[in-house]
Amino acid sequence: MRVHIDQEKCCGAGSCVLSAPEVFDQREEDGIVVLLDAEPPAGLHDAVHEAVAICPAAAISVEQADRAGRV
Protein backbone atom coordinates (compact mmCIF):
# COMPACT_ATOMS: atom_id res chain seq x y z
CA MET A 1 0.00 0.00 0.00
CA ARG A 2 1.19 3.48 -0.83
CA VAL A 3 -0.52 6.45 0.87
CA HIS A 4 -0.90 9.88 -0.73
CA ILE A 5 -2.07 13.08 0.91
CA ASP A 6 -3.18 16.38 -0.59
CA GLN A 7 -2.36 19.19 1.84
CA GLU A 8 -4.24 21.70 -0.32
CA LYS A 9 -7.51 19.81 0.15
CA CYS A 10 -7.01 19.10 3.87
CA CYS A 11 -9.37 20.99 6.21
CA GLY A 12 -7.60 19.98 9.42
CA ALA A 13 -10.50 18.06 11.00
CA GLY A 14 -7.98 15.54 12.36
CA SER A 15 -9.98 12.35 11.92
CA CYS A 16 -7.06 10.59 10.16
CA VAL A 17 -4.84 11.13 13.20
CA LEU A 18 -7.43 9.41 15.37
CA SER A 19 -7.73 6.46 12.97
CA ALA A 20 -4.05 5.88 12.23
CA PRO A 21 -1.70 7.96 14.41
CA GLU A 22 1.28 5.88 13.18
CA VAL A 23 0.62 7.07 9.61
CA PHE A 24 -0.82 10.59 9.93
CA ASP A 25 0.01 13.63 11.99
CA GLN A 26 -0.89 17.33 11.89
CA ARG A 27 1.45 20.27 11.19
CA GLU A 28 2.06 22.27 14.38
CA GLU A 29 1.51 25.66 12.77
CA ASP A 30 -1.81 25.03 10.99
CA GLY A 31 -3.11 21.52 11.77
CA ILE A 32 -2.79 20.39 8.14
CA VAL A 33 -2.17 16.66 7.56
CA VAL A 34 1.39 15.32 7.53
CA LEU A 35 2.28 11.85 6.23
CA LEU A 36 4.52 9.91 8.65
CA ASP A 37 4.65 6.63 6.75
CA ALA A 38 3.87 6.47 3.02
CA GLU A 39 4.13 2.65 2.93
CA PRO A 40 2.61 1.46 6.21
CA PRO A 41 2.87 -2.22 7.23
CA ALA A 42 -0.07 -4.56 6.57
CA GLY A 43 -1.23 -4.36 10.18
CA LEU A 44 -2.15 -0.70 9.64
CA HIS A 45 -3.94 -1.07 6.30
CA ASP A 46 -7.44 -1.30 7.81
CA ALA A 47 -6.82 1.84 9.87
CA VAL A 48 -5.59 3.69 6.76
CA HIS A 49 -8.66 2.60 4.76
CA GLU A 50 -10.79 3.89 7.61
CA ALA A 51 -8.92 7.22 7.51
CA VAL A 52 -9.57 7.45 3.75
CA ALA A 53 -13.26 6.67 4.26
CA ILE A 54 -13.84 9.25 6.97
CA CYS A 55 -11.62 12.08 5.66
CA PRO A 56 -14.20 14.85 5.08
CA ALA A 57 -12.10 16.60 2.42
CA ALA A 58 -11.06 13.52 0.39
CA ALA A 59 -7.44 14.54 1.01
CA ILE A 60 -6.10 10.98 1.44
CA SER A 61 -5.80 8.28 -1.21
CA VAL A 62 -4.09 4.89 -1.38
CA GLU A 63 -2.59 2.80 -4.14
CA GLN A 64 -2.93 -0.92 -3.55
CA ALA A 65 -0.02 -3.31 -4.05
CA ASP A 66 -0.31 -5.88 -6.87
CA ARG A 67 0.04 -9.64 -6.18
CA ALA A 68 3.82 -9.37 -6.15
CA GLY A 69 3.59 -6.74 -3.44
CA ARG A 70 4.57 -3.83 -5.69
CA VAL A 71 2.62 -0.61 -5.47
Partner 1 sequence: MTTAERTEAEHDTGRGAGLTPLTPLTPLAVPATRAEGCPFDPAPGVERARREEPVTRATLWDGSTCWLVTRHQDVREVLGDPRFSADATRPGFPFLTAGGRELATVKPTFIRQDDPEHARLRRMLTAEFMVKKVEAMRPEVQRLADGLLDRMTAGRDSADLVAEFALPLPSLVICLLLGVPYDDHKFFQERSGLLLSLRSTAEEVRTAQEDLRRYLTRLAESKRRDPDDGIISRLVARGELDDEEVSSMGRLLLIAGHETTANMTALSTLALLRNPDQLKRLRADPSLVKGAVEELLRYLTIIHNGLPRVATEDVTIGGRTIRAGEGVLCTLNSANRDDGVFPGGDALDVGRDARRHIAFGFGVHQCLGQPLARVELQIAVETLLRRLPGLRLAIPFEDVRFRHDMGIYGVHALPVAW
Q: Which one of 1, 5, 19, 40 is in contact with partner 1 (CB under 8 A)? A: 19
Task: State the Cα–Cα distance between residues 19 and 25, nearest whole angstrom.
Answer: 11
Q: Coil, strand, or helix at residue 48? A: helix
Does the protein bind partner 1 through residue 11 (CB under 8 A)? Answer: yes
Q: In b/e form, how buried is each residue of 36-49, taking b as 16+ CB within 10 angstroms?
A: eeeebeeebbebbb
Does the protein bind partner 1 through residue 37 (CB under 8 A)? Answer: no
Q: Which one of 49, 50, 62, 65 is in contact with partner 1 (CB under 8 A)? A: 50
Q: Which residues of the shown chain bind partner 1 in the complex (CB under 8 A)?
A: 9, 11-15, 17-19, 25-32, 50, 53-54, 56-58
